[in-house]
C-alpha cells in the first residue's frame, strides 16, 4: 500500500514535462491553489470524462483561484493527442517513471473488476498557496468527481 498524503502534509514538489515537452513545476505555482489530479491513461473513457469535466469547469475554478494539473504515466506525445482530441485547456503532465504518482500515494495496489492489480489510483489533491495539502481524495470516480470536488471546495 503506498503512503497516502493527508491534509496539512507538505505536497511533494515535482517538475514534469507537459504535452509539448515543456517542464511544469509545482513550485512555480506557489501562491495559488492547485488542483493536482492523477488519472490512469489518456484517451480512455473514464479519464476522458474526467478531463472534459475539469475542462468545462476550468473558467469557474480559475475565477475562484484554482489552477488544474492532470498527471498520468502517458508520454507527452499521447498527452498532446488527448489534448487536441478533447480540447483540454489545462496542462497534462507526463510521469512515465511514476515517481510523482508514487510520492502522492497515487500508484500501487488497487482493485479493478474484482481483481487486485498494481496501477494508477485515480486521486485528486488540492495544494494550497503555501504548498500544503488542503484536500486529498483517493479512489475517486471519474464521473461526477469535478462536481463533487466543487461542492467539497464550496464553489
Asked if 60 and 35 touch (Cβ cutoff 8 Å), the reply is no
List, by residue number, the catalytic residues.
47
Asked if 141 and 121 touch (Cβ cutoff 8 Å), the reply is no
pLDDT tens string for the chain (155 positions)?
458 999 999 999 999 999 999 999 999 999 999 999 999 999 999 999 999 999 999 999 999 999 999 999 999 999 999 999 999 999 999 999 999 999 999 999 888 788 999 999 999 999 999 999 999 999 999 889 999 999 999 98
Residues 129, 33: Cα–Cα separation, whole Å: 5
**Strand-pair category, 23-25 with 33-38:** unpaired
Rounded to whole angstroms, what are the CA distances from 115 to 98, 108, 111, 118?
21, 13, 5, 10
> Which pTM was predicted?
0.94
Amino acid at each position: 500500500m503506498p503512503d497516502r498524503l493527508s491534509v496539512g502534509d507538505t505536497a511533494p514538489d515535482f517538475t514534469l514535462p507537459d504535452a509539448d515537452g515543456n517542464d511544469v513545476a509545482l513550485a512555480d505555482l506557489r501562491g495559488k491553489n492547485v488542483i493536482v489530479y492523477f488519472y490512469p491513461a489518456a484517451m480512455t473513457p473514464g479519464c476522458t470524462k474526467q478531463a472534459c469535466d475539469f475542462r468545462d469547469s476550468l473558467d469557474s475554478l480559475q475565477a475562484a483561484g484554482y489552477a488544474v494539473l492532470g498527471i498520468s504515466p502517458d508520454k507527452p506525445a499521447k498527452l498532446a493527442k488527448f489534448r487536441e482530441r478533447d480540447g483540454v485547456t489545462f496542462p497534462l503532465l507526463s510521469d512515465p517513471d511514476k515517481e510523482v504518482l508514487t510520492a502522492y500515494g497515487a500508484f500501487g495496489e488497487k482493485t479493478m473488476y474484482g481483481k487486485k492489480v498494481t496501477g494508477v489510483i485515480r486521486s485528486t489533491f488540492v495544494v494550497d498557496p503555501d504548498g500544503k495539502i488542503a484536500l486529498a481524495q483517493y479512489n475517486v470516480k471519474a464521473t461526477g468527481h469535478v462536481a463533487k470536488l466543487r461542492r467539497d471546495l464550496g464553489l
